[in-house]
Amino acid sequence: MPPEEVLPGVYLLETDGQRKLATKSRDLEPVYGERMINGYRLWDPTRSKLAALLLKGGGKGLHLPRDAKVLYLGAATGTTVSHVSDIVADGLVYAVEFSPRAMRDLIRLCERRENIVPILADAARPEGYCVLVEPVDMVYQDIAQRNQVEIASLNSERYLKPGGVLILMMKTRSIDVTAAPDAVYNSEIKKLAGLSLSWSMDLLPYHMDHWAVLARKFDS
């Protein structure tokens, strides 16, 4: 069966009797040990919250054209960044990460992929990368910090185009380890500034205590 394109640049492949998520890559070298099948890279939902979200049917409102620009906060070594880079093959991914150790691996990935701009910076201080980053179609954030909602709001205010989309992977245990995850989510989500919440969903069974949130920036 040919791969089914479920969103632009995102596919479901039939392999080993299962339907698996994948992106199509010009780079034929695996990034994190993932399996490659005829130019498609399998996308593991246990390794990537974005893959978990898409597999759970959370693609609504998430159409990323090939030439889109994405600001990715919390890039780590580039696992999910690499799949976003496949999806926006003619666009750009600004990949912000503050760990020098993770950045070393990310830079190695960028040597093979021209559409990723690695930025060693603290995402809580978005003014620090204003000379590098243009207005973007999507802000994607996966940062386990107490003030993760504030970080998402600050970056969206500064870099997201009006009408653009924020995907926030909220880890409730990083905000308050003692409170019930639902209660943390409900109080934190009210702090999103300048954005209208479209929907949210948990990432079970792939990731515990995580919520994926999609919000849209108000048109000015």
| Residue ranges binding ligand SAM (CB under 6 A) | 48-49, 74, 76, 79-80, 96-99, 102, 122-124, 142-145
Cβ closer to ligand SAM: 36 or 102? 102
Minimum CB distance to ligand SAM, residue 44 (Å) = 10
Cβ closer to ligand SAM: 16 or 111? 111
Minimum CB distance to ligand SAM, residue 98 (Å) = 4
Cβ closer to ligand SAM: 20 or 207? 207
Residue located via tokens 């996308």: 43
Q: Which two tokens stand for residue 31?
A: 């990034």
Minimum CB distance to ligand SAM, residue 145 (Å) = 5
Nearest Cα to Cα of residue 80 among 112, 51, 53: 51
Minimum CB distance to ligand SAM, residue 155 (Å) = 10
Cβ closer to ligand SAM: 144 or 179? 144
* Range list of β-strands (E), the chain: 4-7, 10-15, 18-24, 36-37, 40-42, 69-73, 92-97, 116-120, 136-141, 160-171, 195-202, 210-217
CA-based end-to-end distance of the chain = 45
Q: Which two tokens stand for residue 100?
A: 């020098």
Residue in the shown chain whose Cβ atom is closest to ligand SAM:
74
